[in-house]
């Protein structure tokens, strides 16, 4: 993985004007930036609010911001002012993509909506909007955060246990899933533009993404009319696929078919379980999952969990110890896959997409607020007097407003 300044990638030469804040949009644009796209992060006068979402902090910016904004340059602009919107329009003159997550209708209210203005002035521009629920419908226009959408889209209901009740998924996968969908959508639009010569508008919502990610619970319900319930760590359709106690550490393994279950039983020296009518099919194992777990743990509690995982992997059964964050980051395989990155004070996960010819690269760490404002404006043809006037009129914002 290249970390040299100026390194190129699969998206080198593509320019993205990024008006997003918080998580879904910044996660999307960081992926694009990791692969060579030029990302200009246009921040409101108060800055991206997750700069304050700590502890912890690095040089005044919260960890939440640090984790989502490498390979970007920052300019602070007050787009509520006409002069700020004129600057934005000049930035868009050479842009491939505009991505924003303002409340639906905000750009339209400012007179720079896609249909009326942007598509006419920049016919090749791809405009991606991320919102909670979209601009219309019963919930259209309302704000949405990851956890609220998780609850509304059914995620709480299938996460947790009988004791905990409906529980939030700890990783903000509605936001991150929407960021991934948005990245895919943008790349589709870039490819389509090659043949059509035209950009288009992309309407991404947290709600739509959350509904689409409700697998397999939604299809289970649609085929059975039975409302899914939380099963804790266990899989609703496969058994054994769960967390188990061992003598030393908790481990997780999954058997997707009868052959894998047979191998598991051989490793645990319990071959008779494959002949038990309760367990000799996946359907039986799912129905009798608690009895099966008791049988398996009776063997596991006599064994070293790490050794069992190694033996299962060698036998072709997916298995692994349940690690905490520190153990994961320090794991030798994490380092081998270049997923543990350290650049001076910046420590973060690496780039998961591994290209053979056009690898991604980490060219710059997350920017300070407005750090590149004057440089960006100069590159876009603003002269010194124009820049000074924008700064004097608080259109170019160089220090965060509280």
163: left (phi over 0), alpha (psi -120 to 50) or beta: alpha
Largest CA distance in the chain: 84
CA distances from 108 to 85, 189, 323 (A): 12, 22, 48
Q: What is the DSSP letter of 2?
A: B
Non-local CB neighbours of 401 within 8 Å, separated by 6+ positions: 45, 46
Q: Rounded distance, CA 33 to CA 41, Å?
A: 11
What DSSP line would sit under 320-367, residue for residue?
A: EE---HHHHHH-HHHHHTT-EEEETTEEEE------SSS--B---PPP
Q: How many degrees, rounded to 5, is the angle at CA 355 between CA 350 and CA 357? A: 130
Task: Tell me if residue 375 is catalytic.
Answer: no
Q: How far apart are CA 389 and CA 250, in angstroms?
A: 62
Kind plus residue range of the DSSP H or E element containing 42: strand 38-43
Structure tokens at 189: 């639009």
Beta bridge partners of 98: 17, 127
Nearest residue to 67 (alpha-carbon basis) of 30, 36, 100: 30
Q: How many CB atoms lie within 10 A of CB 362?
A: 20
- Of 34, 48, 78, 175, the catalytic one is 175
- Give the Cα separation of 397 and 392 in Å (integer): 9
Comparing CA positions, the residue from 372, 325, 392 lying closest to residue 38 is 372
CA dist list (Å): 171 to 63, 146, 167, 271: 15, 10, 12, 38
- Cα–chain-centroid distance for residue 55? 21
Residue 242: CA count within 13 A, CB half-sphere: 22
**Residues identified as active-site:** 175
């Amino acid at each position: 993985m290249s970390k040299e300044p100026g390194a190129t990638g699969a998206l080198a030469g593509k320019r993205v004007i990024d008006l997003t804040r918080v998580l879904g949009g910044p996660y999307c644009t960081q992926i694009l930036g990791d692969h060579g796209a030029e990302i200009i992060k246009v921040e409101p006068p108060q800055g991206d609010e997750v700069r304050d979402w700590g502890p912890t902090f690095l040089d005044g910016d919260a960890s939440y911001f640090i984790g989502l904004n490498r390979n970007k340059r920052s300019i602070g602009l007050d787009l509520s002012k006409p002069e700020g919107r004129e600057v934005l329009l000049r930035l868009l003159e050479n842009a491939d993509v505009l991505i924003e997550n303002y409340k639906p209708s905000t750009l339209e209210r400012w007179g720079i909506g896609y249909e009326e203005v942007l598509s006419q002035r920049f016919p090749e521009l791809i405009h991606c909007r991320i919102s909670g629920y979209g601009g219309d419908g019963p919930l259209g226009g309302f704000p949405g955060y990851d956890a609220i959408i998780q609850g509304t889209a059914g995620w709480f209901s299938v996460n947790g246990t009988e004791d905990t009740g409906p529980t939030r998924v700890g990783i903000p996968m509605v936001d991150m899933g929407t960021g991934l969908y948005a990245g895919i959508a943008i790349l589709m639009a870039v490819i389509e533009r090659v043949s059509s010569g035209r950009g288009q508008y992309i309407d991404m919502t947290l709600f739509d993404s959350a509904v689409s990610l409700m697998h397999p619970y939604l299809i289970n319900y649609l085929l059975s009319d039975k409302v899914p319930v939380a099963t804790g760590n266990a899989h609703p359709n496969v058994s054994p696929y769960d967390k188990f106690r061992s003598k030393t550490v908790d481990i997780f393994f999954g058997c997707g078919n009868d052959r894998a279950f047979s191998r598991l039983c051989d490793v645990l020296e319990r071959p008779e379980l494959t002949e038990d009518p309760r367990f000799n099919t996946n359907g039986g194992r799912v129905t009798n999952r608690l009895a099966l777990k008791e049988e398996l743990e009776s063997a596991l509690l006599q064994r070293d969990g790490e050794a069992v995982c190694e033996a299962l992997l060698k036998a072709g059964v997916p298995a692994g110890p349940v690690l905490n964050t520190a153990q994961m980051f320090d794991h030798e395989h994490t380092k081998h896959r270049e997923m543990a990155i350290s650049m001076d004070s910046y420590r973060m996960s690496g780039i998961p997409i591994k290209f053979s010819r056009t690898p991604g690269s980490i060219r710059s760490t997350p920017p300070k607020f407005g750090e590149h404002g004057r440089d960006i404006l100069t590159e876009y043809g603003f002269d010194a007097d124009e820049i000074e006037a924008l700064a004097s009129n608080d259109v170019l914002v160089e220090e965060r407003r509280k």
